[in-house]
Copies of this chain bind each other. A is one copy, B any other.
Amino acid sequence: MEETKYEHSLVFAVRDYECDLQGVVNNANYQHYLEHARHEFLISRGISFSHLHDEGLDLIVTRIEIDYKYPLRSHDKFVVRSTILREGNVRLVFVQDIFRLPDEKLVVKARVTGAATKNGRPVHPGDIIKRLGLG
């Protein structure tokens, strides 16, 4: 397996309200972590999700695949590492993996496909692709 070269990392701590009655982080919350890491990744490249929205441009997720490898628990610290690939003309793919800290145990492997829409219709994410250095 070729190693992923991540371009962005964000460290989190589990919050107790994110854990469910099984005592582990509820599955849907990993999607929150991944989303927050993507938005911070984009901000680090000068792309604000909410400013884009105000201009009528939305980056939307069209597909998500998540492999749950190991559960996070109360008090755990972890890092979301992300990179981004271009797929075809109009799609962006975020490869995002979550590791527990400090032991680097693999928690989640995710692949998130996105597209750009303007007022609800798909558009070419030209400017975004340029700012991400994918042009």
Q: List residues of chain A with CB under 8 Å of any chain B CB.
A: 15-17, 19-23, 26-29, 31-32, 35-36, 39, 43, 48-50, 53, 58, 60-68, 71, 73-75
Contact check, A32 vs B17: say whether CB atoms are below 8 A apart: yes
| Given A16-B35, A21-B53, A36-B15, also A68-B60 (CB < 8 A) | yes
Partner of A28, one of B21, B22, B28: B28
Residues of B contacting A17 with CB < 8 Å? 20, 26, 28, 32, 35-36
Partner of A50, one of B64, B68, B74: B74
Residues of B contacting A29 with CB < 8 Å? 28
A26-B64 Cα distance, complex, nearest whole Å? 13
